[in-house]
Amino acid sequence: MRRMEHVELTGNSIVAGHDVPGEGPVWRGAVAATGEARGPWLRDASPRQIAQAARAAAAAAREFRALPAHRRAAFLDACAEEIEALGEDLLELASAESGLPRARLTGERARTCGQLRMFAALVRGGDAVGVRVDPALPGRRPLPRPDLRLRRIPVGPVAVFGASNFPLAFSVAGGDTASALAAGCPVLTKAHPAHPGTCELVARAVTTAARRTGMPAGVFSLLVGRGTEVGQALVRDPRITAVGFTGSRAGGLALVEAANARPVPIPVYAEMSSVNPVIVLEGALADPTALAAAYVASLTSGAGQFCTNPGLLLLPAGEAGDAFRAAVAEAVSGTAGQVMLTPGIAGAYDEGWGRWAAVDGVRVVARGVPGESPYAPGPVVLECDAAAYAAHGDLAGEVFGAAGLVVRWSGTEELLALLEGIEGQLTATLQGTGADLATAARLLPVLEERAGRILWGGWPTGVEVCHAMVHGGPWPATSAPATTSVGTLAVDRWLRPVCYQSFPEALLPGELRAAGPLGAPRLVDGTLAPGAATDDHRDGVPPRSASGRVGA
């Protein structure tokens, strides 16, 4: 592992490899546990500086997309190496700014670097290019077919907005950045105000990796901004072609609105809110104590600050359900609050569950005790019946944190009605046994329409970074239900198909020629064909795969 020299924080934006002191409002980061200011003074990037970064990205776009696959892959690998080289300094800073424990951040760093390497392997393999070839059929009657060849090209500069709850894996060099760079798109990231120092450290690592591997300067920039002005200006810049966002529904919808209001609208891939319903079927209640312990562990993990947190649990009415509720009450009462990401998030959590508790028909099952920090409120579980839930739309919304709502149902028809009324979700989980398969089969078509990932058993807090993962879902869990922000399929968001008709071989892009340089599989006349052997690994690094599991 490379060892990076200690890096002093400056609070500056980093534009195309250069430090750029901001010209906007002045502010500082904060310690999550106390709210006290820490780190250097920061100044928001000005509209002029945002335009400068976007201009540099646009200037780099064609050169970056034209680089051989092995060079782009080497850049992604170098990003992982430089982040690892930050060592304990990165973990210490991220923990202070986010309140997250070092052990959790160690795992998150591994996931961040693992997904960078996973996308490097994808680039080397060439699969993302999506080559399709339909050879000419000059003798076909009644009309001949021309030679048709398809590849996917990068859309251009991408703006990335990181999440507060994942200062590494969903931030400056997180999944959106990794997949966009893998697609061949320059990236402009907005530093998250909840962890600006962490953002700067990681941005310097990416900048070093870009310089070390000979990338065009505008391939990556970091823009400092605490309010909405920087993000809005970034999305409105005409050189930005797509947006990746992870955060609140209000924030995501604001970016969607800004992107749609442009003279040339652009897509916003926003992962927003989700309550991730867990459906408990009768057979799962054979051991209510064990099930309750697993539920509370998932609900309270990371102070409940995962986008896959099980905020809604649908529980059968009756004695078995009552036993589960009693076990939940005992487990929750023995928990203590953890430091939340920011004082504002802690305050919103208390306001949110208090709003639930004020609804007629809702009662508190149990509360945990607050932690030592004033921003570590105790976990809470509340309960109501299906009628109360259906009558009060506010109960359907997300309370970000360790707050769970248990809704009691009687009979499959009432359960189906509840699920039909639930909006789009990132996940849905079925807890059952073989005795529940017939009921589950009736529920599954509804769940397929409502969620991007459906679990049988287990708990949704834990997202594997791999090829088959879907971290997405129907509106309003995301703004683009056909996509995912985790897994190699995430690269699809930043690629656009182009068809070349009747082109001479000399003008065809390399991937579309008779023996493409990537050696990737291609669809030839509708049949998958293996790629030819190539010399595209001349950087000496064979294809690799990497994955990691951290709650999301």
Cα 6 to chain center, whole Å? Answer: 29
Determine which one of 79, 185, 307, 384 is catalytic.
307
Dist. CA 85–CA 99, nearest whole Å = 22
State the angle between helix axes of 175-183 and 69-85 in degrees (0 to 180), rounded to the nearest 10: 160
449 catalytic? Reply is: no
Dist. CA 312–CA 309, nearest whole Å = 9
Determine which one of 271, 383, 398, 511 is catalytic.
271
84 catalytic? Reply is: no
Instruction: Please report, as a single letter, which amino acid is at residue 265.
Output: P
Report the alpha-carbon angle 56-62-68, nearest 5. 120
Query: Other C-beta atoms within 10 Å of 355: how many?
Result: 14
Paired tokens of 495 = 């690629």
DSSP string of 431-494, one letter each residue: E--GGGHHHHHHHHHHHHHHEEEEEESS-SS-EE-SSS-----STTTBS-TT--SSSGGGGGGG
Paired tokens of 449 = 């329409």
Query: Other C-beta atoms within 10 Å of 549: how many?
Result: 15
C-beta separation of 430 from 314 below 8 A: no
Cα 226 to chain center, whole Å? Answer: 21
Radius of gyration of the chain (CA): 25
What are the percentages of helix, strand and coil residues in the chain, rounded to 5?
A: 40, 20, 40
Which sequence positions are flagged as catalytic?
Answer: 271, 307
